[in-house]
Structure 1
Amino acid sequence: MSPIKKDTFEITAQTLALVATATSYGKVLTEVIETGARHELPVHPSRLVDEACRYFASSLPGRLAGTKQVAGFTHKPPIVISQSMGIYFFPTISPKRKDCSWISHSHIRSFDSLDGYQTTIEFTNGSSIVVPVSPGMIANQIQRTAQFRFLLENRIKHSSLYTAEQIAEPFA
């Protein structure tokens, strides 16, 4: 399936991955992979992630800071775009780099080494992508995202246990 060019895009629960692709003249584009379609956008993946975070009243830097506060992850941290919709993504390399791809945690079926330095990721809809990182790194990112999800969801579940005095205490 060849990508279709689009001008607008919104990350949803059906978004599988945002894959950075370099053009012959050095610009980074995004191949958006969704459960039923693939299309290309003329911006780098982290910009799309930032726009999605802003749609849900945050930003990519804010989500990265939140991940650090919740789970302590500082390098290649996974993020939540929408906790209520279960939209969690992890980066393949530093999110500061324009060639960083983002993978949806919820849609990974399996992954396998292509040559030790590249990994094929198969999604729940049967489609797949190849990313230029090791399978060990993908395994680590999947595990870290699962841990972050657990910690965040547990925190939200138990947040109703705090009283107004306990919340105000650090500000007194």
Structure 2
Amino acid sequence: MLDNFYSPSYEVTPLTMAIIAQQDENGNTSACVLEEQEEFSAHYSPSKIIDNACKFFGSSLRGRQDGTRGICGITHKAPISIDPTSGMYFFPTTSPTNPECSWVAHSHIDQVNQGPGRQTKIVFKNRKTILLNVSFGSMLNQVQRTAQYRYLLDNRIKYLHRHNADVVAEPFA
């Protein structure tokens, strides 16, 4: 039953480090998924995989983007939380409507370095690296915006836990 709802063959987890856009020989967008221990291809665009992951947790990519806008005012290339309780915060490398948009998991990043030309090298905590066609300045901005969003959302969740610990839901009459 869950497979019918969550149609893609790949499920984003806390082990997902990045979902990288790639083009096949026919020009169709697919994804290279980087996990902590493995790497494989998926037959969906990175933004479609992210959207389905959001739907698995009760929202959508659009809903998560709207939530980001409401919390910290970011309107373009908004970072999202697929599931804040498991620390799954991702940011897009370009507009999510762009077929070249890749998604990077904030919690797995160890370093962001200048690459050749207008590229950026990301070093993950497990020492794997990727080279993305995104300027160094733009990538640093995305990492910082995601950190700000993560901080604000985590503080909201902590506040609710502290102030609602003794509240018990009441049944309908």
TM-score by length of 2: 0.86
- Residue correspondences, number: 157
Q: Which residue of 2 aligns with 1:92?
A: 93
Distance, in Å, in 1 between the alignment partners of 2:99 and 2:139 is: 19
SS at match of 1:26: coil
SS at match of 1:133: coil
Distance, in Å, in 1 between the alignment partners of 2:162 and 2:83 is: 23
1:8-40 per-position Cα deviation (integer Å, ceiling 9, x unaligned) = 111011000000011232101100000000000
Structure 1 unaligned spans of 5+: 1-6, 164-172
SS at match of 1:74: coil
The residue correspondences of 1:47-66 to structure 2 (distance < 5 A) are 47-66=48-67
Distance, in Å, in 2 between the alignment partners of 1:88 and 1:10 is: 15
- Identity fraction in percent: 43
Stretch of structure 1 that moved more, 153-162 or 28-37: 153-162
The residue correspondences of 1:6-155 to structure 2 (distance < 5 A) are 8-155=9-156
Stretch of structure 1 that moved more, 34-43 or 95-104: 95-104
Deviation at 1:161, TM superposition (A): 7.5
Structure 2 unaligned spans of 5+: 1-7, 165-173
Deviation at 1:84, TM superposition (A): 0.4
Distance, in Å, in 1 between the alignment partners of 2:161 and 2:112 is: 38
Question: 1:20–1:29: 8 Å Cα contact kept in structure 2?
Answer: yes
Distance, in Å, in 2 between the alignment partners of 1:34 and 1:160 is: 31
Query: CA RMSD for the aligned pairs?
Result: 1.5
SS at match of 2:86: coil
Structure 1's 161 and 16: CA in aligned 2 closer, same or farther, altered over 3 A? closer
TM-score by length of 1: 0.87
Distance, in Å, in 2 between the alignment partners of 1:51 and 1:105 is: 19
Question: 1:110–1:122: 8 Å Cα contact kept in structure 2?
Answer: yes
SS at match of 1:62: helix
Q: Which residue of 2 aligns with 1:3?
A: none
Distance, in Å, in 1 between the alignment partners of 2:154 and 2:107 is: 15
1:31-65 per-position Cα deviation (integer Å, ceiling 9, x unaligned) = 00000000001110000000100000000000000
